Structures are given as structure tokens and as C-alpha cells.
């Protein structure tokens, strides 16, 4: 079973920030948090990852709480093309098994 929990679905207005939460209360010290997204009919696509510091790249920002039990993926200016299922995954750098949960279905509205 997936070790993370996410809301089933969210809506966001185009141009606004999309904030996608994830709970990973069982995460251990050496486990990273990875975010992937899957646009309809395509393979999942890596977005960002983090261990304990906040991270930012050209796609998104990742905010991890100090206790590391939850995180938030932020898409700063959502576009229609960001409509997808977003997965939050715990993963150890020593293993390569991703356990995908059900993810959050984000719909960006025009």
C-alpha cells in the first residue's frame, strides 16, 4: 500500500497558484519525497524531489514541513496544460521501488 495520502481531486483557476498537499507521516530519515505527474494517456513525468529543505525548479516548488511529515507541491502559475494526476511518493535513495498511491487529480479551469 502507498505510504502517502493525498486529496482525491482539486480545481485551480488558470494563472493562479496550485497548492497540492501530501501527508507522509511514516517517512524515515533517509527517504526523499518525490513528485510526479501523469497527463492523460502519457507516462508519469518527474517534477521535483526533496529531503528536508524546500526546493524549487523550473516546474514547481516543494515545501516540506520541519517534521517532514507532510509537503506541498506548488505550481506558481497553473496553466491548462498542468491538468493531470499528481503523485507524491516516498523513496529511499537506496531502493528504487516507487509505490504510487491514487494521487491528486488537478483540473485547471479557464
Partner 1 sequence: DAGVIQSPRHEVTEMGQEVTLRCKPISGHDYLFWYRQTMMRGLELLIYFNNNVPIDDSGMPEDRFSAKMPNASFSTLKIQPSEPRDSAVYFCASSLYPRAGGSYNEQFFGPGTRLTVL
Using the minimum distance from each CB to partner 1, give the nearer residue, 13 or 39: 39
Q: Do the Cβ atoms of 17 and 101 come closer than 8 Å?
A: no
Q: Give the whole-angstrom CA distance, residue 63 versus residue 28.
A: 17
CB of 67 to partner 1, least distance (A): 20
Using the minimum distance from each CB to partner 1, give the nearer residue, 23 or 32: 32
Q: Cell 529511499 belongs to which residue?
A: 92
Using the minimum distance from each CB to partner 1, give the nearer residue, 54 or 102: 102
CB of 64 to partner 1, least distance (A): 14
CB of 96 to partner 1, least distance (A): 6
Q: Do the Cβ atoms of 61 and 50 come closer than 8 Å?
A: no
Q: Would you give the distance in Å from CA 30 to the centre of its chain?
A: 18
Q: Which residues bind partner 1 (CB under 8 A)?
A: 32, 34, 38, 41-46, 49, 51, 87, 91, 93, 96-103
CB of 73 to partner 1, least distance (A): 15
15 φ/ψ sector (left φ>0, alpha ψ -120 to 50, else beta): left
Amino acid at each position: 500500500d502507498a505510504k502517502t495520502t493525498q486529496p482525491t481531486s482539486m480545481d485551480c483557476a488558470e494563472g493562479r497558484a496550485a497548492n497540492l498537499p501530501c501527508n507522509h507521516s511514516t517517512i524515515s530519515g533517509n527517504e526523499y519525497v518525490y513528485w510526479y505527474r501523469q497527463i492523460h494517456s502519457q507516462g508519469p513525468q518527474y517534477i521535483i524531489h526533496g529531503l528536508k529543505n524546500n526546493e524549487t525548479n523550473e516546474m514547481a516548488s516543494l515545501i516540506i514541513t520541519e517534521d517532514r511529515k507532510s509537503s506541498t507541491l506548488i505550481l506558481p502559475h497553473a496553466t491548462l496544460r498542468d491538468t493531470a494526476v499528481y503523485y507524491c511518493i516516498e523513496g529511499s535513495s537506496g531502493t528504487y521501488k516507487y509505490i504510487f498511491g491514487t494521487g491528486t487529480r488537478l483540473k485547471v479551469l479557464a
